[in-house]
Chain A
Amino acid sequence: MICLTCQSYGPAAAAKSGARADGALAESFTLGNGLKVIVRPKAGSPVVTVQVWYRVGSYHERVGIRGIAHLFEHMMFRGSEHFGPEEHSRLIQNVGGYDNAFTAEDMTVYHQTLPARHLELPFKLEADRMRSLKLDSAILNTEREVVKEEFHQSLNNPFSRAYLEFRRRLFPGHPYAWTPLGDLEDLNQISVQDCLDFYNAHYAPNHAVLVVSGNVKAAEVRSLAEKYFGPLKPSGSDGSYGQAFDLSTPPAEKRIALRLDLELPVVTLAYHIPPAAHEDIPALEVLTAILSDGESSRLYRSMVRESKLAVHAMGSTILQKDPGLYGVGAAFLPNRDAGEIEAGLRREIRRVRDDGVTRRELEKAVNQALAEEVFGGYSVDHLAHGMGESEILEGDYRRFETVVRRYRSLTPEQIRDVAVKYLTEDREIVLIAEPLQTNWLYYAAGWAKSIADAVRDWAARIFK
């Protein structure tokens, strides 16, 4: 068993002064060893959430160790210098808390939410495993099997399988081509030494962000951060990104169609978009809201309520540190033609490019963002997550608190401009996931139902 000794970093260097924008509710400071701490007090809340966001994900892997970031997320629960295997979870649960972790392309996040009076406990636990994790081949082999189970679980679901394949072909030659699940062959080969190298390079205070939200005071958080994380030594590795994705190159594949063991087909139009911190992202997010948030959105109205082509219509802006993805899609019963769905989605994108959006649609999107801010504000986990994600992806947690302000400053012309710039037909990639076999009986039944629906709608209009 290898014990990564907790290395003391001398006396805690004085924390750098905090930053707090006007009207902002959160504030931040940075310890001498580089750990950034974000505090979002929420008086009256019975709970507190403590999250450690490491600036490492599957992006930082290479062929040969794909999946190590996620595997590592599992290993972090298997004991450190002062706490045994699963003891972290046990201690959090013993006070009524909940803890878990997740790995994404650009981040690995450890989070716990617990009654506010137990604030100190997660500081003690997270600091211990940040620099003194225990690693050995027995633990590695057990967790390897668990991670492979998770991988298989994903492969056995056709929608997850489609997502893995789409990503592989949407980001050729780039680490975003694989997800945190990694690669089965690589997982089988990862050694204890690979894990040690990965841990030493990325698990250090200067590559992490500590986010605390709940019934806490900033001074109290500062004192605990200095006490537990202050002595930890930073890592020499800069943890920087190595590869960039060229947005100006047209996609290599324009159409990716998969036939899978599923019964509900889905068509998506996807477009590469700039990194999360780019100035065009707010306009793209508002466009997503106009196209797909709520039943008054353009896609729901045209694809579901009016034409009845689809049963669900959706839009998403997948933000990443490097270029992300914009997508509009629809799920439809197998009695519809995928070509019609594709044409319907394309028509709505073209309509934005040609005619733009209305001021009312923009105001509605702002209203929705404002309401989401109010409703989301009840949950300390939501607040901490939003700030952590903004800090990692956009480089500034304060962007989470200024979403509404940034949306309000947009004009309908700016929304149209980003559609013209990014959602063009030469950048479009059609993703299709459809069943292995067509059931013609079902198709005929659907056709008959379409006629019945049309007659009923016609009668409703005539006899209104």
Chain B
Amino acid sequence: MRYSYFFAFVQFLCWGFTVSVANADVLQKTLPNRMRVVVVEDHAAPAVFIRVLLPLGENDDPAGRAGVSDLTAELVQKGAGGRSAAEMAELVDWMGAGLLGYSEAEYTVIGCDVLAEHLDAGLELARDMVTAPRLDAGEFSILKDQAVASIKARRSDPSYLAAVQLPPAVFGPEAPQGKVKTEESLGDITLEDVAAFHRHSLNASGAIALVIGDVDAEALADKLAAVFGKLPAGEPPHIPTAIPANRAGGRMLQSPKESISQTTAILGKPGPGRLDPDYFPALVANYVLGGGGFVSRLMAALRSQEGKTYGIRSSISGSATPDLFTVKFTTRNEELAGSLRLTFDVMRRFIAEGPTDTEVSEAKEFFKGYYFLQTETPSQRASKMLAHLFYGLGIEEMDRYPGRIDAVTQKAAHDAAKRHLSPDGLTVSLCGPSDVLQNAAPVLDGIAKGR
């Protein structure tokens, strides 16, 4: 009898069900180890998109070693199972396939895009990358050099220099959101760090295998269950949702770079995450303030009316873990003071008046329509589905999204703006010539005092 009950329990856990989402049938299964398997048939073209989400991401990088998650996602593609890095590359290029590995704030995605005729090879590659990466020392060395090179290249860009000093100052360098990859942090990472990160990421409780493409859903779900059913069960991941305090509120951060004719300014402070009740109202409000490109208030004031900048944009993070709300622009050095004053003026006026009914209505129409553009390709849909599933919103969130946007009222958008998008307590990060940065300090002081 005990056997029968156990068997029934396993059957229950393995039970697959199909729902219709975004006009497509989605087959979902939960394996006995709690890993979720999702398959969506899409026969528009002979291609298959395989994704495996593992529940460990950038926010889980060890202290002082930011970059471990990225290096792990890269290294698993350089030799796995019975194939060396060179053999794997030859197979992938021969098939015209593409491997992928990247880390988001809370998770890592490993996958493969293949033509349908190469489905079995694609599944084998995905399985090997997830369960049997070689973690080769020679490839690790190349990847570290590439990561360092990438930082060296980006350091030529003033926008990068302004951006990179903001997270550790606002959140603290040890906080999940405060970690930033540097040459030093990359230099300290060992192959053992990568191996440990990979080992810990094999946690079926938060893991998801998702395939979209020209496949037979039932048959493929069985194959995925066989491939990933043996991952260790682990504990469900925890996502912090409280917005941390700004540890550098009102401060100016300087990154001097001489002999450049422009200064880049990034204004930032902690903002709401994807699971915050204010997320959708804040999204709509941010569109009106500076997220809406040419139709936003900041762009209209600084670019279209004054010609002070090529562009200005504000944004809030889409990750569940609360991250930065930012406003960013680049302007010629002599216009920095005026641009900062105008930016703060526009933001203050926006917080005082709130968005108009028309602005809110236009923003809502934008987001509802833009969702079609964001979900045009299977690869885009896979990214959204994985995020919805991982955040516990369910794959049905794909269909609920327009309703959530529609539910935002002018008052809710204004309230959310007051709570999250106000210029009070912003940290201002600047990259430009030293004398320009020095002159900016009294300007910001004056702005803070309302002068």
Contacts and interface: CB of A to CB of B under 8 A. Distances in A.
A296 B373 contact: no
Interface stretch (B91-99, B236-244, B384-392, B415-423): B91-99
Interface string B182-196: 000000000000000
Interface stretch (A193-201, A257-265, A319-327, A408-416): A257-265
A264 B150 CA distance: 8
Contacts of A264: 149, 152-153, 156
B303 A96 contact: no
Given A149-B262, A263-B153, A305-B86, A89 B373 contact: no
A378 B95 contact: no
Interface string B365-391: 111111111011111000000000000
B284 to A, nearest CB: 13
B153 A295 contact: no
Contacts of B356: none
Contacts of A157: 156-157
A378 B310 contact: no
Contact of A301 (B86, B141, B145, B307): B86
B158 A375 contact: no
State the main secondary structure of chain B at its contact with A: helix
Given A96-B368, A156-B260, A157-B156, A295 B145 contact: no
B89 A295 contact: yes
A85 interface: yes
Contacts of A403: none
Contacts of A155: 261
B138 A460 contact: yes
Given A89-B293, A114-B369, A158-B156, A374 B376 contact: no
Which of B47, B152, B158, B371 has the most chain A CB atoms closer than 10 A to its own CB?
A: B152
B69 interface: no
Interface residues of A, number: 74
A97 B292 CA distance: 11
Interface string B292-336: 111100001001111111100000000000000000001110000
Interface in A115-162: 115-116, 118, 141-146, 148-150, 152-153, 155-159
A115 B292 contact: no
B369 A95 contact: yes
Nearest to A150: B310
A367 B94 CA distance: 7
Contact of A262 (B156, B370, B372): B156
B399 interface: no
Interface string A368-398: 1111101101111000000000000000000
Interface in A290-324: 293-297, 300-301, 304-305, 308, 311-312
Contacts of A174: none
A46 B294 contact: no
Contact of A47 (B44, B261, B262, B376): B376
A289 B261 CA distance: 39
A297 B377 contact: no
A98 interface: yes
B44 A378 contact: yes
Interface string A254-283: 000000011110000000000000000000
Given A86-B300, A263-B152, A294-B93, A46 B375 contact: yes
A449 B141 CA distance: 9
B369 A97 contact: yes
A456 B136 CA distance: 11
Which of A115, A142, A263, A460 has the most chain B CB atoms closer than 10 A to its own CB?
A: A263
A332 B90 CA distance: 24
B142 A96 contact: no
15 contacts: A45-B376, A89-B293, A89-B295, A94-B362, A96-B370, A96-B372, A113-B373, A142-B305, A153-B330, A157-B156, A158-B156, A295-B85, A296-B94, A368-B96, A378-B377
Interface of B: 44-47, 85-86, 89-90, 92-98, 113, 115, 137-138, 141-142, 145-146, 148-149, 152-153, 155-158, 259-262, 292-295, 300, 303-310, 330-332, 362, 365-373, 375-379
Given A312-B149, A377-B45, 7 more contacts: A44-B44, A46-B375, A96-B365, A148-B332, A375-B113, A453-B138, A457-B138
**7 residue pairs, one from A and one from B, having the closest CB atoms:** A96-B369, A371-B96, A145-B307, A295-B89, A294-B93, A263-B152, A378-B377
